[in-house]
Amino acid sequence: MKLFFLPSLLLAATVSLAFAEPPKPVTVIIKTKAAQMKYDTEKVQVAPGAKVTITLQNEDDLPHNLVVCKPKPDGDDKGMDVAQQAWALGDLGMKKDWVPENPRILAATKMVNPHAKETINFIAPETSGEYPFVCTFPGHALVMNGVLSVNVPVPPIKNLHYRYYTGEKLVNLPDFGTLKAIEEGQLDSGKVDVNLHFSKRKGDFAYEFEGAVDCPKDGDYTFTIGSDDGSELWIDDKSLIKIDGIHPLNLKDKKQKLKKGEHKIKVHYFQGGGEAELYVGWAGPGFAQVALSEFEPAGGVKKNDKENFTGMPLVVENEARVYRNFIAGSGPRGIAVGYPGGVNLCFDADQMNVALIWQGGFMDAKRHWTGRGQGDQPPLGYGVAKLGQQHALGVLASQTEPWVNSYKKDQMRDPAYTFHGFELDAKRQPTFKYDFNGVSVTESFEPSGDYKKENAGLKRTVTLTVKEAPANLYFNALTGPMEVKGSTFLFDKTVKVTLSGAEPLVRKTTGANSEVLVPITFKDGKAEIIMTYSWNLSS
């Protein structure tokens, strides 16, 4: 394929020669995921007419098969009608390996027993398109499917260069003409990648990519872009698609008539926080959707003239919204609350403390839509502050005694605590309630401002009542990296925290980490601690 990189005078000849080359055979091993009813490979890329060898290696304790189907003329059904016909076989299903007689079927394995494997060989169709493969064992096709993508090999972006920028509190695409690149270079892969520096910086950064796409002939080309967070696609210095702001991954596409030959492509991207994802792809005369990015959406790419959210973002509008599930950065009993104005928190009902606060988007419910889902879901927004997973209350014999939890290591919840859930106040905002060794505690929260105007804040009020006041009781307000200025703390360079109600005890723990403990003094059986969180760090 080096012919694609010959001088432009030979471009017409190189394109025709490259497309005339015999397709390379494709050999792939697709494994089943144990106890998940899923294939480990959801997309296989082949050229039209290529010899295809697929080995299904069953790592599960249930039998599975793999049936490759022709696309459905009226849309992508992921092979569901073939699977449903297989389910209708009834008693004949096992004898036929749950493979029905259906003209859509291109190739199929037999039922592969647990911890066994089988190989099939076939020739890929000459017609470009997305050919679904599916397990037709009853009930499995709903989640156990993938795509054989048949299309003509198209070169990635030529002479692709990137420029990397950083900023503060990015909530929209910046004016790249006013920025100075922190780093720039060339991507030999020809595919854009926004995770080049993600290990060093998780948010508030931006990329600019520039190169050229090579159109094999005159015609209509469909460009697709999707991002978490904002992005913009330019062709020949004209903006074609723009998806700005803080949001989960969404996709948008648009057609553009282009002449045969090279055309300049430019992509802008910014990351506010959360996951960093950017998909760029195109399709044109003679070839189906081809990725121009290292990242590709797990669920595939659907062409749509409107924005297509691949997740299930929970939108907070006029009142608070509560999401109870597995949340990254909290214990297994995390309770997330999103408030109007784009302020969010996660209360850990094991530690009885606030584990996370963040701005912007609330939560994406897609991961946990079926049952309890798979794994922990991170916050959807940005400016995430992990306040430290420590128990809220403890008794210290001295100010130097370590903050030691009194539960076993294999337990999350301290038996000294009893969680009483939460109640909704007049504004339908939750107030959390729990007991600790005879001390009754309520925690209420009041949001302020709007994250879009950079003045978002959150007031936290902790009220403790008791009949007989215990001695040497402390409240763990913060644990982690912070700068200390009296009763104000710049936590993890992300959020400013102010304490009132008592003089805090600040102690160094490990490395750059500290912990902020508030001594509890009761008056008439009552004590109150007020904390304010703010992302407006200019003051």
Based on the fold, state whether residues 340 and 424 are members of the same structural domain.
Answer: yes
213-239 average pLDDT score? 94
Whether residue 373 has pLDDT greater than 60: no
pLDDT digits (tens, 9 = 90+) for 174-214: 999 999 999 999 999 999 999 998 888 888 899 999 999 99
Please tell me the distance from the alpha carbon of residue 250 to that of residue 248, in angstroms, as a whole number: 6
Are 259 and 330 part of one and the same domain?
Answer: no
What is the pLDDT averaged over residues 221-233?
93
Look up the CATH number of the domain holding residue 362: 2.70.98
**Taking 70 as the threshold, does the pLDDT of residue 362 lie above it?**
yes
What string of DSSP letters covers 210-256? EEEEEESSSEEEEEEEEEES-EEEEETTEEEEEE-SS-S-EEEEEEE
Clarify whether residues 125 and 192 are in a common domain.
no
What is the number of other CB atoms lying within 10 angstroms of the CB of residue 523?
A: 8
**CA atoms 313, 290, 208, 194: torsion sign:** positive
pLDDT at res. 302: 55
**Does 95 reside within a domain?**
yes
Q: Is 85 helix (H, G, I), strand (E, B) or coil?
A: helix
Residues 189 and 205 placed together within one structural domain of the fold:
yes
Answer yes or no: do 209 and 122 share one domain. Answer: no
Mean pLDDT on 26-49: 91
Both 169 and 133 in one domain: the answer is: no
Q: What is the DSSP letter of 367?
A: G
Domain closes at, from 310, 336, 355: 310
Give the residue, 364 or 263, on which the prediction is more confident.
263
Cβ neighbours of residue 227 closer than 8 Å, sequence gap 6 or more: 243, 249, 250, 269, 277, 278, 279
pLDDT score for 359: 85
- 164 and 123 in a single domain? The answer is no
| Phi, psi for 18 (deg, rounded to 5) | -65, -40
229 and 267, same domain (yes or no): yes
Would 292 be classed as within a structural domain? yes
* Residue 539 placed within a domain: no
In a domain, 247, yes or no: yes
The yes-or-no verdict on residue 246 having pLDDT over 90 is: no
Are 8 and 99 part of one and the same domain? yes
pLDDT band, residue 411 (cuts 50/70/90): low
DSSP, collapsed to helix, strand or coil, labels residue 140 as coil
- The most distant pair of C-alpha atoms in the chain lies apart, rounded to whole Å, by 91
pTM of the model as a whole: 0.49
Same domain (yes/no): 128, 103: yes
Residue 400 phi, psi (nearest 5): -105, -5
Structure-block tokens of residue 346? 């996660």
pLDDT for 17 equals 36
Q: Quick one: pLDDT at residue 375?
A: 65
Last residue of a domain, one of 150, 182, 206: 150
Judged against a pLDDT cut of 90, whether residue 109 lies above it is answered with yes
Query: Total domain count for the chain?
Result: 3
- Kindly report the CATH number assigned to the domain that includes residue 34: 2.60.40.420
Average confidence (pLDDT) over 235-263: 91
Looking at the domain assignment, is residue 439 inside a domain? yes
Quick one: pLDDT at residue 311?
61
Among 126, 150, 174, which residue terminates a domain?
A: 150
Residue 405 has pLDDT above 80, yes or no: no
Residues 76 and 124 in one domain: yes
Please tell me which of 198-212, 432-446, 447-461 the model is most confident about, judged by mean pLDDT.
432-446
7 shares a domain with 133: yes
The model's confidence at residue 299, banded by pLDDT at 50, 70 and 90, is low
Residue 145 counted as domain residue: yes
Lookup: tokens for 297: 């959406």
Domain assignment of residue 316, yes or no: no
Domain that holds residue 137: 2-150
Query: Mean pLDDT throughout 66-88?
Result: 88
What's the whole-number average pLDDT of the chain?
85
Residue 84 forms part of a structural domain: yes
